[in-house]
Amino acid sequence: MTNVDVVVPVYNEQEALPKNIPLLYEFLASEAFAYDWRIVIADNASTDGTRPVAEKLAQELTNVEYLFIPAKGRGRALREAWGRSTMDIVSYMDVDLSTALEAFPALIGAIADKGYDIAIGSRLARGAQLKRTLKREVLSRGYNLLIKALFMTRFSDAQCGFKAAKTGVAQRLIPLIEDGSWFFDTELLVIAEKMGFAIAEIPVRWQEDLDTRVQIGKTVWDDIKGLVRLRVSRPWREKRRSEPEG
């Protein structure tokens, strides 16, 4: 049976962990999810009580592991957790569970059963349902349009914290990704599509977390700088040249 690493990157989430990890655990253990699984709480340098809370959960719940990464950044957490995985599929979701878990079986099924290399939750695909502020809506749509204009990509939503990939594909892409923070997702998808990997989009039900740790202004600026860097460097071209022909 296909097995899946479900990575939950966290930074200073001592309040959210004891509420939401058990909910995730219960869902994965139910008949709704037909794959073997493991939850990995990937703590990227938390400074509050996240570590003891996460370690307690790992001790009390089977198939839950705690991983400490001594540097802040969601991208760094995913690089470490995905890079060391021996499961068939790697995935991740945000600890706030803003994306409804009902879409997770379809996300994994797109890879395990339909042959896609990567699957992403999309808040902009037909059938998606979302609740968020007008400011976040405008920024998200504008950012994704900018990605399409710069790279002629087909995927609709780079930023949704709900993604999965074949482990071999993820581990092939990780060395090409420079960013260790929020831009990691965009970089992953642009490089993957340019290298010809098949990406499935799963419409999701999503609700904005008003207690988000994301600093919107800084993140927007970092994303713009990342897009410019990626446009100039085009790491997928170097990778293609380095691969043997035939």
Q: Stretch 229-245: mean pLDDT, rounded?
A: 74
Number of C-alpha atoms within 13 angstroms, CB side, residue 189?
29
Q: Are 76 and 60 in contact (CB under 8 A)?
A: no
E strand residue ranges, the chain: 3-10, 36-44, 64-69, 89-93, 118-122, 129-131, 162-166, 199-203, 205-207
Name the band, by pLDDT with cuts 50, 70 and 90, for residue 214: low
Model pTM score: 0.92
Distance in angstroms (rounded) separating the CA atoms of residues 97 and 2: 23
Is the torsion defined by CA of 148, 150, 151, 157 positive or negative? negative
**pLDDT tens string 6-64:** 999 999 999 999 999 999 999 999 999 999 999 999 999 999 999 999 999 999 999 99
DSSP code of residue 245: P
CATH topology of domain 3-242: Spore Coat Polysaccharide Biosynthesis Protein SpsA; Chain A (3.90.550)
CA-based angle 217:94:26, to the nearest 5?
160
Average pLDDT over residues 201-225: 81
Query: What tokens were used for 66?
Result: 């705690």
Distance CA 20, CA 36 (A): 20
- Cβ atoms of 185 and 143 within 8 Å: the answer is no
Q: What is the mean pLDDT of the chain?
A: 93
Distance, in Å, from the CA atom of 234 to the CA atom of 237, rounded to the nearest integer, reads: 6
C-alpha 245: how far from its chain's center? Answer: 32
